Structure 1
Amino acid sequence: MEEFNNYGHQHSLLLMLNQEQLINYGTGVADCSRCGEKVSAPCFCCAEHCGFYLHKVCAEAPLELNHPFHSHHPLLLLQEPPSSYTACVCNFCGNTCEKFIYHCSCELDFHIKCALFTFNIAENNLKELEHVALQHPLISTENGDEKLKDAAKCFGCWEPLAKYTHFSSDCEFNLHEKCAKLPFKLNHVCHRKHPLVLQFNREGLSCKVCQETRQRNLGIVYGCSPCNFFIHIKCVSPLPIIEDKSHQHPFSLILRQAPFICDACGTEGNHAAYACCTCNIMVHKKCISLPRIIKSRWHRHRVSHTYFLHKEHFERLDCIMCHNEVNTEYGSYYCADCNVILHVNCATRDPFLFYVVSPENEDEKPLDIHLSSITNVIERNDAGEATIIEHFKHNHYVTLSDNIREYGDKFCDGCMLLISDSFYYCSECGFFLHKACAELPKMKPIWHHGCQLANLALTSDNIFRCELCDFLSNGLAYKCRVCGGHVCLRCQALPPDALSCPGHEHPLLFYYDFDGQCCACGVHKMRAFSCKDCDYSVEPLCMLLPTRVSHKCDEHLLALTYHDINDYSKHHYCDICERERDPKRWFYHCTTCDTSAHVKCVLGEYPFIKTGSIYKEGDHLHPLTFVKKIKHYPACTKCGEPCEELALECAEAECNYLVHWKCMNPYGSEYGYLKGTDF
């Protein structure tokens, strides 16, 4: 052991040349004070045993590093990330940088260990990597170990390390031996103007061969910076022939300078095409393995990939996702039963939006989702319409009616909205159900629900929180058998295609990648129903707002109103909260009394919990019922505060038990539309 200068430390340091010296010194598990990794020889240790350690390479790291992979500017060694950073991520390994980083003003950051590691790779100084021992036993990721599969990726080409020799993970570096010996410059047939140079993919441009962009711009690539031309290391020598089970013939590689249009997806490719001479088609590499049949959330049937279609087979050629026309001379996904068509890249761009139908399940029939929730029809009228029925939600017969004048102030026990159309009612108790709600199927796939294969089952659970609108409700819901999530009857009816909006003259189309302001609430949203003809967009939760509601501020029903036509006042106020109201945003209004109020003020916190209904949970001995606005605001049995909002009251007359819903609520107090839940 030799004593050296302190490298900024208050005590002298000792150099440990090997692990034996380190063990004899008494070092157990310790971390390097610069890179934060487990310390290993050669390293420096504090002579006073104060717990300070430095890898030798970390101690001798230059304050300014001219890195061959980034020739534009030098990398500066900083003790901590710049103060303007909310999070600093290493552009080589992708992990968070917390201290001692190499930084460049063009937004490149590296752990000290990553910067030095790649510098020595670039300079072919493999002897400097002796503390990263080269492991010769092969590590295979084909043994089913998922953790190993995730971790064992080469930091150069980002391909699996299976059956390749790689650097030890003692310092968390994984690199194929062949990637450690890559030439710094090379000439490539796809870019004859200049040689390609190994560099960091700092601009995050897509690879010109495979068209893919690596997430977080990690690792190194071959590139020509003046031409913005980059190729992944794995794509420098693409496979000359590819066979895939989705196509009956092999594809042969054609390297070319001129661009081409991919016959599989209809978008442009540049330098590497794969051709099937038998079928006379030319495709991107990634399009060779396009799934033949998929199930998209945007459509109720499976859709199949085809390379071309005859236009006369379709009534419309607009993609049901982006609403732009599909060129049928190139590949698309289509449904022959419905004449529905999708761009390939729209249908497959997000794994959440589709799943692949495996070949063994291609002929499998979908589950029966047409079983009605009406358990028995007792009577029908001359038109064959069911007038008296039994429904699984209720114990008595219910009768069909359209007498909205008499029952228009009643709530549907399914969707929890005011009765507004033909409905069934029970003559023995206060049970009402819209005809449309009564006829819903017991099983239904819901396109915006996250579980891949789930058909949700209609249920009458006591109380639930809808996963889309986030409101609590005690009506009917569709419940997922996989995750247990609920979707209320209002949200289950939301379609992924066109909707009419009373506040706008044109139909609104759903845009998954919308980025703008909702005209109803004024909030910036990432999903919306939007008009193709004009600048009008409404987010999904605003499209679901009740058109008629009741509120204690007015004796009449309030109607959802889409723009204020009263110009007599420069200021518009809410009659509930008495604060200013934006006349361009949707609000609730009574034309008789000229009452106007914010949507949030009218709906309140619990608009879809029906008062008088039974609460079946809790530990009270007697049944509890939901009540609102009890006279004189009696005190809550649990907290002692006045019950001003939703509460639970004992149904037994002699029992004075009364409790805030918030004191009983196991679901939390935040709620959907009022907290700005996005779709």
Structure 2
Amino acid sequence: MFNHEHPLDLIDLWAEQLQHEEEYDEEEDENLDLTAQQNFQCFCDICDKNIEWVHRYYYKCSQCNYVSHKFCAELPETLEDICHVGHTMCGTDVLVSGRYWECSICGRESGWYIKLRYYCSLCYFNVDIDCITKMLRTNIIHHPSHKHPLVYINKEILCMCDACGKEHKGIFYHCPKCAYSFIHSHCAFLPKQLHIQHTTNDFFSHIHPLSLAYSFPYADQKSKFFPLCRVCNKKFTNQNLWIYKCEKCIYYTHLDCATSRNEPFMSILTSPGTLLDLHNICAFLPKEITHASHPNHLLSRVQDMNHSLCRMCAYGSGLSKFAFSCHSCDDFHLHTSCALLVPETTMHKCDKHPMKLRYYPVENHKSEYFCEICEGEFDPNYPFYHCDECMQSVQLVLRQYFSMKHMRMPPGVAVAEPFIGL
């Protein structure tokens, strides 16, 4: 409807990516950067709203900077049954000068500038371009998570989002062909790739960008030993929810965890290498500690692990009367012996370098993990020793009961309250 003086070309923002996906395998070209198209943004000259990657198609003038949404450029010249008395309404981009006018639907005022609208010259019924696109359900996005186009719902609703699994009130997109598909606008426009340090105020970090995945199938979770979210340390309970993951490491996060901006958790640290004056550890166990295996939350001393397993040795409460538990994460527990006695480094004849204790999968280590001693595959989400130079690993097996006599605090364990030892 809204004519432009020059011819317009229809641009497909997905064309370049689809071509690259056909021509290149991920392993062959890891440095291929497709984020430029996915981060594409410009303002539509018709509605003044963003044109983004999920809209997929837009019109562009080859002779000037004029651009528009595909659905804006293809709006009809006249509309029927919009005016309250049934008149035919005409679309126009004329300059309305000398007075303000209000949209007869939303009540929003226009100013002393060019404002695109549909109007009825008989009853002075005006409708702005935003209300028209909502009423015509023409605000459509082509999202890679779904095989059908998703349509903008023209009013705020309270609904469960099928992307993040959380209940939201706001604007949703849905599929008219699949009644169950509802995606909140915040999730629909999430970036295809992000650095978690940018979205969590540097509280969580990872050296590689995380990619948006539109599901986490059970088979994939099983092949990676059912990894936990690296932010909240909880399970991925619904395989159909979106996640952020690292394509080069075993690193996965929930959608809302990767994009949260929580305040840093309180952490009171002792100086590195401090060893504490303790003769009777049972009498003077600290009430709270921070531990390298769970650095973002405080661990509190408890007597009952509620039949849960220790995240270090994978054994239950029988090995120790006391334990350290995280109140923020219901399923994180450490035996006091596992938390305080396991050395941070060790030497073994299979490797000439010191091996460091790891609590999570190693960055840039995409393949399976095998123990250099027993040659068996192990789950890297449980502690293991690893040599960064030789890329060799040894699984940590804590089957014996730790003696509590003459206990010493190893480096890396921080006491969260002052206490006096004998």
Task: Please report the TM-score for the alignment, with normalisation by the length of structure 1.
Answer: 0.21
Q: Which has the larger Rg?
A: 1
TM-score calculated relative to the size of structure 2: 0.30
